[in-house]
Amino acid sequence: MLNRRQVLKGMGAAASLLSMPSWALEVGGVELGLQTYTFHNVRQGGLQAIDTILDGTRQLKVNLLELWAPQAEPFALPVRYWSPWSGAATEPAAQLPQAERESRRNALRAWRTNTPPGHFADIRHRFDLAHIGLFAYNYSFEPTMTDAEIEHGFMAAKILRLKLITASSKVSVAKRVAPFAEKHGIMVAFHNHAVTKDPDDLATMDHFRQVLAMSSMFRINLDVAHYAASGLDPVAALETLHDKITNMHVHDRKANDGASVPFGDGVTPAAQILKMNRDRGWKLPCFYELEYVGADGRDVIAETRRELDYEIRVLNEK
User: What is the rounded average pLDDT of the residues 67-76?
Assistant: 97
198 pLDDT band, cuts 50/70/90, is confident
Average pLDDT, the chain: 89
pLDDT more than 90, % of the chain? 79
Residue-wise pLDDT tens digits, 261-276: 999 999 999 999 999 9
Query: How far apart (Å, rounded) are the C-alpha atoms in residues 249 and 285?
Result: 9
* Chain-centre distance for alpha carbon 209: 20
User: Is the pLDDT at 20 greater than 60, yes or no?
Assistant: no
DSSP state letter for 160: T
Query: How far apart (Å, rounded) are the C-alpha atoms in residues 57 and 64?
Result: 8
User: Is the pLDDT at 16 greater than 70, yes or no?
Assistant: no
74 pLDDT band, cuts 50/70/90, is very high
Contact 227, 200 (CB under 8 A): no
pLDDT more than 70, % of the chain? 86
Residue 78 has what pLDDT? 80
Residue 20 Cα distances to 93, 107, 283, angstroms? 38, 36, 11
In this structure, are strands 30-35 and 25-27 parallel, antiparallel, or unpaired? antiparallel
Residue 18 has what pLDDT? 41
Helix (H, G, I), strand (E, B) or coil at 131: coil
Output 4 or 180, whichever has higher pLDDT: 180
